[in-house]
Amino acid sequence: MKHRVLYYALGLSALLLLAPVLSPQHPVPENNFLEEFPATPIPEGLSTYEHIIRHAAGNTGWDWRLIAAIIYHESRFHNEAHSSKGATGLMQIRSSRYSQDTLLIPAVNISIGTEYLKKLGKMFPAASREDSLKFALAAYNLGDGNIRKLIAQADSAGLDPTYWELVAHMLPEGHHTPSYVNDVLRTYDSYCSRLPR
């Protein structure tokens, strides 16, 4: 009994000491935003490829955490990932220029993916940097030719084709690309709050 009381007292003391650490620094929003959009888990595979992602991102000017968010949504950091459409590796690259074995080399795959993103980031006139990023992500998911067609359709419909949200209205209802763009950006925000630049 004496030992049980001692353990209880020690446990209570530890809880009291940790209380400031465990209590939230900021009040939880009333709409419970964090439950509605829980933080994207940081996969174990991220640490395996972080140095490659950082290097490739540094060469293109993109935040490495954004590249990591794209990789999470493309392959969940599974280097051996293959899609039914022939995309391969971490960033799900399709290329007739490289063999499947070459595309499974992480540094090659990530380098090709980030270079393509850099090209996409300059390809579409956009109303803001945020819209430019959304266009690039949409084109990464759907293909730059398809995004150009959507921009032309939006323009023909009298919509401002420099705003992604307006161009996205040209897609059929329930199309996966707007969700992809939002999911990548949400994961990116989550990584920014938890991973050092």
Q: What is the mean pLDDT of each run of 10 residues along the chain (197 residues)?
A: 40 37 33 50 84 94 96 96 94 94 97 96 95 98 97 98 98 97 97 93
Specify whether 74 is catalytic.
yes
**pLDDT (0 to 100) of residue 44:** 75
Question: Which of 35, 74, 115, 173 is labelled catalytic?
Answer: 74
Distance CA 93, CA 181 (A): 17
Counting the structural domains of the chain, the total is: 1
CB 60 within 8 A of CB 117: yes
CA 183-184-190 angle, to 5 degrees, is: 90
Query: Residue 100: which CATH number?
Result: 1.10.530.10
What is the maximum span of the chain, computed from C-alpha positions, in angstroms? Answer: 82
Q: What's this model's pTM, rounded to 2 decimal places?
A: 0.79
Considering the domain boundaries, does residue 25 fall inside one? no
**pLDDT (0 to 100) of residue 2:** 42
Considering the domain boundaries, does residue 8 fall inside one? no
**pLDDT (0 to 100) of residue 33:** 34
Considering the domain boundaries, does residue 37 fall inside one? no
Considering the domain boundaries, does residue 30 fall inside one? no
Considering the domain boundaries, does residue 38 fall inside one? no
- Residues of the domain holding 174: 44-194
**pLDDT (0 to 100) of residue 28:** 32
Got the DSSP string for 100-124?
HHHHTSHHHHHHHHHHHHHHHHHHS
Considering the domain boundaries, does residue 31 fall inside one? no
**Cβ-Cβ contacts under 8 Å for 128 (sequence gap 6 or more):** none
**pLDDT (0 to 100) of residue 153:** 98
**pLDDT (0 to 100) of residue 42:** 78
Nearest CA to 181 out of 120, 107, 125 is that of 120
